[in-house]
Amino acid sequence: MISKQFIGGFEELEQYRQEVLDGILDFRIGHGWDYTYHERIAKQLPFIYEEFARNLYTRRAVIDVRDVPKDTEKGNDSPACLQHIQFFVRDGKMHMKVLMRSNDAAEATFMNAFAFICLLKKVAKKVGVKVGTYSHRANSFHCYEKDFRLLEGYVANIEKGGDLTYRFKGFFEDMMKEARPAVKQKVEQVRANIGL
């Protein structure tokens, strides 16, 4: 689950996981942020669980993250990149497909995929099935000029072959757990800085 090419650290990854799954920065909505992925996903999860309870093999377990009125509002310069999530159960396993309208290949993709895979695991556990596959599609998979060398390094490492991932269980997971107090402190500082 962890790419060796990930440029962040344990604390950044743990913070982002908590942002997407737990909404630790939802308080920023209206204070510099228009939305969070958590806020848009969490309000639709009850439907997802109800849908799987109705029919385990449903094709309707879809979360649309795009909020058309907000994301197309004049002056909105940060519409959601994540557009669509669909969950499927096939052969006793939960599969998840994600569609991004835009995805920063060099800096964002690894964190996005990790957090969304954690969401997949959460939904599978709640529904009571095993975890299946994760598919990540970006209609605009891009790299900013400042990150060209970084991306070239990724490509060179991939071309070399070999093991490009760390196992999450064990060391990496333990380090992320140890980062939780620092993440909590950082979030409380952000809250204090905006006067909440």
pLDDT tens across 112-145, in order? 999 999 999 999 999 999 999 999 999 999 999 9
From the list 116, 55, 49, 110, the residue with the least C-alpha distance to 84 is 116
Instruction: State how far the alpha carbon of 83 is from the alpha carbons of 41, 91, 117, 150, 163, in Å.
Output: 11, 27, 16, 26, 31
Which fold is adopted by the domain 2-191? Thymidylate Synthase; Chain A (3.30.572)
Q: Which residues touch 133 (CB under 8 Å, ≥6 apart)?
A: 93, 95, 96
pTM, whole model, 2 decimals? 0.93
Higher pLDDT, 167 or 82: 82
What is the tens place of the pLDDT at every residue in 31-58? 999 999 999 999 999 999 999 999 999 9
From the list 147, 132, 192, the residue with the least C-alpha distance to 7 is 147
Q: What is the pLDDT of residue 167?
A: 86
Residues with a known catalytic role: 81
Helix pair 10-22, 180-193: axis angle to 10 deg: 70
Report the C-alpha gap between 125 and 110 in whole angstroms. Answer: 23
